[in-house]
Copies of this chain bind each other. A is one copy, B any other.
Amino acid sequence: MTARPPSRRPGLKAVAQLAGVSVQTVSNVVNAKVHEMSPETRRRVEEAMRELNYTPNSQARGLRVQKTSTLALLLLDPDPLYLADPMTALIISGVGAVAREHGYMVLVHAAHPNQFDRGLFLPILQNRADGSLLLLSGEKSMRRAYVEEAAKLTDHFVILEDIDAPSVCTVSADNHTGSFELTTRLLDAGHRRIAFLGTAVSWPMIEQRFAGYRDALDAAGIAFDPALARFEGEWNAATGASMATQLYGMKEPPTAILAGNDLLAIGAIKALKSSGLRVPEDVAVAGFNDFAFAEHTDPPLTTVRVPGFELGRRAALRLIARIEGTETEPVSERLPVELIARASA
């Protein structure tokens, strides 16, 4: 058996021929301009379309009308497993759901955050998408550069980050408040030395969580000890374990750990337990995101639920509104998060 090339699908012309009308008429049927023809003609055309299994060629149509009906999801992620982070996966799912409802497709494209790479915008530059959703990691200045580049190309983009720029659309979760509340909870429980764990590569979410943590400390009049804040490795349990181990090698170790993400938290818990410490009796540990497993760790993880799916949904809705001109003013939307108090902290 030998590979068969993709069979050329029938075009408007073929349908027109079969129905005995002009291509224009067929186009009208396709585009539901049905009032411009006799019912009989319409019926014949529709039958011909069915018979040939006709589907419009979106490249041709797009070329003509300058529209792709595609949303680009642009990711800046250090990890080739860019979707390994469940939060990213949830966001994409949300985007996908809205896209489908509105007749759009989703193109996923990623680049590495190490150096500025204009290639991230290839889907836009090559006219493959009508707009884009930006999910960025890396240094703040780098992220800024990407946002500026995006703005240069088109207004049709939404940033999944609570960036401080009035002229762009943003959709984000209120990580600052979530972190503030979580830290306050720890302070209320009597903790005074609270550590914070983040990743080496900067993420907007992490920055805000860190800021919320510091603000809560300030509000309680507790001095921030830089030795208790660690930013290493990536979003995984091993990193969390290693940072926790370091912290508990200190002369004056923390009594609580706020991990920037549930994966870091479970790694920390594991490391602590294997050093003979009890959670939460000896050390309280809290995470972020409320991943599926958080309820089932031992002890169950106290964390902050971030509405990833909803984040993706809202961002996609905003983007489509921009594309279709329904909404012209840039809007910044911040979704509430929810403190999930379980046993670990």
Contacts and interface: CB of A to CB of B under 8 A. Distances in A.
What is the count of identical protomers in the complex?
2
A9 B125 contact: yes
| Chain A: interface size category | 35 or more
A330 B1 CA distance: 8
A267 interface: yes
B328 A2 contact: yes
Interface in A235-278: 236-237, 263, 266-267, 269-270
Contacts of A109: 100, 105-106
A154 interface: yes
Nearest 9 Cβ contacts at the A-B interface = A298-B298, A55-B125, A6-B154, A83-B89, A3-B328, A58-B126, A293-B293, A266-B296, A89-B89
Interface of A: 1-9, 55-60, 62-63, 66, 68, 70, 80-84, 86, 88-90, 92-93, 96-97, 100, 105-110, 122-128, 130-131, 153-156, 167, 236-237, 263, 266-267, 269-270, 291-293, 295-298, 309, 322, 325, 327-330
Given A6-B124, A59-B127, 11 more contacts: A2-B329, A3-B325, A55-B125, A60-B63, A80-B93, A105-B122, A106-B108, A236-B292, A237-B292, A237-B296, A266-B293
